[in-house]
Structure 1
Amino acid sequence: MRGFLASSIGVTCAAALALPLTLPSSGARAATPAPQSPAGPLAVSVPGSTQSLPLTPLGSDRSPGGEAAEQGLLQREVRPFSLVGVIWDDPDDELNGSVQVRTRASGTSNWSGWQPVETHNHEHAADPDDPERATGRVRGSTAPLWVGDSDGVEIRVRGEAAQARGEHRGATESPVERALPEGLRLELVDPGAEPPPQGSAPEGPRSPALTAEAAASSAVNADLAPLGASVIPALSKEETESDLVEARGGPEDAGKVKPHIGPRPRIITRKGWGADEKIREKNFGYTKTVKAAFVHHSASGNNYRCSQAPSLLRSIYRFHVKSSGWRDIGYNFAVDKCGNIYEGRAGGVAKPVLGAHTLGFNSNTTGVAVLGSFGSTNPPSAAVSAIARLTAWKLGLHGANPSGKTYLRSGGGNKYKKGSNVRLNVISGHRDGFATECPGLRLYKKLGKARSDSARHQGR
Structure 2
Amino acid sequence: MRGILASSIGVTCAAALALPLAPPAAAADARPAPTAEAATRAAVTTEADVPGSTQSLPLHLLTRERASGAAVLGLAPRTVRNFSLLGVVWDDPAAELHGRVQVRTRSAGTGTWSGWQDVETHNADHAADPGTAEDTSGRVRGATAPLWVGPSDAVEIRVRAEPAQKAGAGPGSAGTPAGGADGIPLPSGLRLELIDPGTAAPPPGDAADGPRTGAMSAEATAASAANAGLAPLGAAEIPALTREQTQRELLASRGAEATEAAEAVEPAEPAGSAGPAGPVEQQRAKPYIGPRPAIVTRRGWGANESLREKGFVYTGKVKAAFVHHTATGNNYTCAQAPSVIRGIYRFHVRSMGWRDIGYNFLIDKCGRIYEGRAGGVAKPVLGAHTLGFNSNTMGVAVIGSHSSKKPSSSAVKGIARLTAWKLGLNGMNPKGKTYLKSGGGNLYRKGKKVRLNVISGHRDGFNTACPGGKLYSKLGSARSTAARYQGR
Fold agreement, TM-score > 0.5:
yes
Mapped partners of 1:200, 1:260: distance in 2:
26
Give the residue type in structure 2 aligned to 1:375: S
Partner-residue secondary structure (3-state), 1:116: strand
Taking a change above 3 Å as real, the CA distance of residues 253 and 53 of structure 1, as seen in their structure-2 partners, is same
Letter in 2 for 1:372: G
Contact 1:63–1:177 (Cα < 8 Å) also in 2: no
Find the counterpart in structure 1 of residue 4 from structure 2. 30
Q: 1:53 to 1:63 in 2, by over 3 A?
A: farther
Indicate which of 386, 400, 403 corresponds to 1:372. Answer: 400
State the distance in 1 between where 2:254 and 2:67 align.
Answer: 62
Show the counterpart of 1:13.
none
- Given that residues 201 and 227 in structure 1 are in contact (C-alpha distance below 8 angstroms), is that contact kept between their aligned partners in structure 2? no
Structure 1 unaligned residues grouped into runs of 5+: 1-26, 34-43, 167-173
Q: Deviations over 1:381-401 (max 9, x none)?
A: 000000000000000001111
Q: Check 1:458–1:203 CA distance in 2 against 1; reply closer, same or farther (3 A cut).
A: closer
Go from structure 1 to structure 2 and tell me whether the alpha carbon gap of 1:158 and 1:241 turns closer, same or farther (over 3 Å shift). same
Spell out the pairing of 1:304-383 with structure 2 (5 A cutoff): 304-383=332-411
Q: Whose RCO is larger (CA < 8 A, sep 6+)? A: 1
Q: CA offset at residue 194 of structure 1?
A: 1.5
Could you say what secondary structure the match of 2:306 adopts? coil
Whether the aligned pair in 2 keeps the contact of 1:201 and 1:228 (CA below 8 Å) is no
C-alpha displacement of 1:253: 3.6
Query: AA paired with 2:184?
Result: R
2:185 matched to which residue of 1? 179
The 5-angstrom pairing of residues 409-448 of structure 1 reads: 409-448=437-476
TM-score by length of 1: 0.86
Corresponding residue number in structure 2 for 1:150? 152
The residue matched to 2:164 in structure 1 has which SS? strand
Q: Which moved more, 1:189-198 or 1:416-425?
A: 189-198
Partner of 1:58: 62
Equivalents in 2 of 1:299, 1:226: separation in Å? 33
DSSP 3-state at the match of 2:182: strand
Query: Are the counterparts in 2 of residues 270 and 344 from structure 1 also a CA contact under 8 Å?
Result: yes
CA separation in 1, counterparts of 2:485 and 2:185?
Answer: 50
Deviation at 1:121, TM superposition (A): 3.6
Letter in 2 for 1:298: T
Tell me the amino acid that sits aligned with residue 242 of structure 1.
R
Aligned residue number for residue 455 of structure 1: 483
Matched, 1:226 2:228: no
CA contact (8 A) 1:118 1:143 kept: yes
* Aligned match of 1:92: 94
| Contact map agreement 2:403 2:468 (CA 8 A) in 1 | yes
Shift of 1:278: 0.3
Amino acid at match of 1:160: E
Q: SS state of the match for residue 151, structure 2?
A: strand
- Given the alignment, which residue of 115, 135, 142 partners 2:117? 115
SS in 1 for 2:63: coil
Q: Matched residues in 2 for 1:165 and 1:290: separation?
A: 38
Match of 1:214 among 220, 243, 246: 220
Gaps of 5+ in 2: 8-47, 171-179, 260-279
- Shift in alpha-carbon separation, 1:256–1:349, aligned structure 2, 3 A: closer
Alignment length (residue pairs): 416
Match of 1:17 in 2: none
Q: CA RMSD in A?
A: 2.5
The secondary structure found in structure 1 opposite 2:414 is helix
Aligned equivalents of 1:45, 1:289: Cα separation in 2? 39
**Once the 2 structures are TM-superposed, how far is the Cα of residue 206 of structure 1 from its aligned partner?**
8.4
In structure 1, C-alpha distance between the alignment counterparts of 2:301 and 2:188, rounded to whole Å: 34
- Per the alignment, residue 435 of structure 2 pairs with 407
Give 1:169's aligned residue.
none
Q: TM-score, normalised by structure 2?
A: 0.81
